[in-house]
Amino acid sequence: MELPLLLSTFTTVFLAELGDKTQLATVAISGNSNRPLAVFLGSASALVLASLLGAMTGGSIAAVIPSNLLQLFAALGFLVIGIRMFNPMFSFSPPDEETQS
């Protein structure tokens, strides 16, 4: 009675997240940074905190937090990181990284 709910939540959320924008961002950032642990910790803790807020506040979260505005800021962050990757001056990793592997 408890395990099915746990499993169905896990499956639903996991499948929904596959290929989602945040997972694609995680792929892009970790591919260009040689700190995979930092990327994993940052991404996992952000996702867990967001779902904690979702689970705890119930339906009231949409009224409290202007999610559209936050997503606009997130879009800005995506753009900044993306432009950083194009401009070697602000690159995440030195250009000679991975050449020996």
Confirm if 29 and 38 have CB atoms less than 8 A apart.
Answer: no
Nearest-approach distance from CB 6 to other proteins, in angstroms: 5
Q: Establish if 64 lies at the interface with other proteins (CB under 8 A).
A: no
Helix (H) or strand (E) holding 33: none
Footprint of other proteins on 70-89 (CB under 8 A): 70-79, 81-86, 89
Nearest-approach distance from CB 32 to other proteins, in angstroms: 5
**How many residues lie near other proteins (CB under 8 A)?**
87
Q: Establish if 96 lies at the interface with other proteins (CB under 8 A).
A: yes
Footprint of other proteins on 18-47 (CB under 8 A): 18, 20-33, 35-47
Distances (CA, A) of 39 to 2, 52, 58, 90, 100: 32, 20, 28, 17, 22
* 97 HSE (CA, 13 A, CB side): 11
How many residues comprise the chain? 101
Nearest-approach distance from CB 50 to other proteins, in angstroms: 4
